[in-house]
Amino acid sequence: MIHRDSPAERSFHTPLEQQEIRYRKGDTIELIITDHAEKDKCFGKTAEGMGVMVSGILAPGDRVSAQVYKVKQRYLEARTIEVLTPSPDRVEPVCPVFGSCGGCKWMHVSYEAQLRYKHKKVTDSLAHIGGFENPSVLPVLAAPDALHYRNKVEFSCSNMRYLLQTEIDSDELARPKTFALGFHAPGNFEKVLDLDTCYLAKPCMNKVLNLVRDFALERGLAPYAAKAHEGYLRNLALRYSERHDQLMVNIVTSWYDAALMQALKERLEAAMPEQRMTILNNVTTRKNTVATGEQEYVISGDGYVTERLGDLDFRISANSFFQTNTRQAETLYDQIIAVGGITPEDTVYDLYCGTGTITLYLARHCRQAIGIEVVESAVRDAEMNAELNGLSNTVFFQADLKNFHAMQEALAPYAKPRIIVTDPPRAGMHPKALDTMLKLQPERIVYVSCNPDNLARDGKEIAARGYKMSSAQPVDMFPQTNHIETVACFERVE
């Protein structure tokens, strides 16, 4: 349906193929949302059959009115005006600032529906991008906790607080306009939404968030101004070890103030006496909002936390990578072992091994696990974690996967892999790295991906080089968001 000022323009009494319907910028249209699309948009069709990419907080099944802002040859782009009839998949978001905060995208959708949408996303990517006919995508493995599951959260501090529409409408400020500690507003690197509670963070993290905010306001600490590159308090990065109940509090500032850090330490310890805690101060002068420092000061505790996956312990420092959902990380790694068919006689290569969590998890089930990673500091952490767990059947290399000949030379003393596990960045594997992996000719490739589109793209090339995809197992690591992890298995065709 399309609404315009002229009644003639609103009347369409002949079939679509017998008339030319012209849409214009500013038109108001009605449509049913049928699917999710890229960049947080949804897709639907008008009654006349025109495809529309719609922005807004939507769910498949919603009937909406929207205003066209771009007209293309094959589709329209529009912004939601109103949800006329809500989808049966909709629920009331538990977070009062949902929609203003950029963290959760699907909190307005029931968890059962989230799993259904994610399964469809993986299936569609493999079919349409990868060219896999009727891909065998297993049901999504649901997270045991749909809320409060994150073991790492990074809050930002800003001198520009993002104002909620209710404040703008009422003309009353609920809090100071020049201080905020929370998450950046979507698409805005300067303004921060001031938060009391993140519903994905652990309760102890939210308690620290409010304690640090109160301390900063009492002391008059200057929040960081991203554009002017001024101010003291930049970030609050928190990590939590679920298995050992350890909390890391990392204050990121523009300079070091020993007396101030001591006072904050005393405040936190007095307010949370039962909590095992380490407190750090990362100091940076960089002109960005990334929560890492050039110098690190340990204010109290060991300066790291230790988390357990299976029967292995991993030491996690402030700036090292670790899966943000501890329970689902175990599920993910168990799936790698299951679909890989790993035996005690196998040599397994783990590409993009990072700090070695997957490599070490695999090492308990095979003869030798070899981890390959380009980042030197990650390799050092991996070797330290191997020593921490007493695993002597692991080897870690700092190597560039794009250089096949260098890889061949480094790995010459070791057995060829029967199984290769690859867990590349979200962008997928570089074509040269993919070529290196395929030249090693393993019997089985286990591809772990957080981006279904790039899994499909790389999977298409793997299939073209003599492999068939035997299974794809989605694992929901990130409830309330549109992200999904997938463990896909490719077997060499003899």
Cα 179 from chain centre: 27
**Three-state secondary structure call for residue 201:** coil
Residue 267 amino acid letter: R
Rounded CA separation 483/125 (Å) = 13
- The catalytic position among 42, 101, 366, 450 is 450
Q: Does residue 353 carry a catalytic annotation?
A: no
Alpha-carbon Rg for the chain in angstroms: 26
Tokens 């002229």 correspond to 6
221 contact partners, CB below 8 Å, separation of at least 6: 215, 232, 233, 260
State the Cα–Cα distance between residues 132 and 123, nearest whole angstrom: 9
In DSSP terms, which residues pair with 141 in a beta bridge?
A: 475
Residue from 352, 366, 378, 376 nearest 450 by CA: 352
CB 382 within 8 A of CB 396: yes
User: Which amino acid would we find at residue 398?
Assistant: Q
Taking Cα atoms as reference points, which of 339, 351, 337 lies closest to residue 411?
351
Q: Tell me the C-alpha distance between 427 and 280, whole Å.
A: 32
Non-local CB neighbours of 231 within 8 Å, separated by 6+ positions: 157, 159, 222, 223, 224, 225, 254
Structural tokens at position 468? 């068939």
CB 43 within 8 A of CB 55: no
Q: How many CA atoms lie within 13 A of 435 on its CB side?
A: 8
Classify 44 as helix, strand or coil.
Answer: strand
Question: Of 445, 494, 476, 490, nearest to 106 (Cα)?
Answer: 476
Is-contact 193 185, C-beta < 8 A? Answer: yes
- CB pairs under 8 A, 24+ apart, for 11-15? 12/48
Distance in angstroms (rounded) separating the CA atoms of residues 358 and 360: 6
- With tokens 């590409």, the residue in question is 351
Residues marked as catalytic: 450
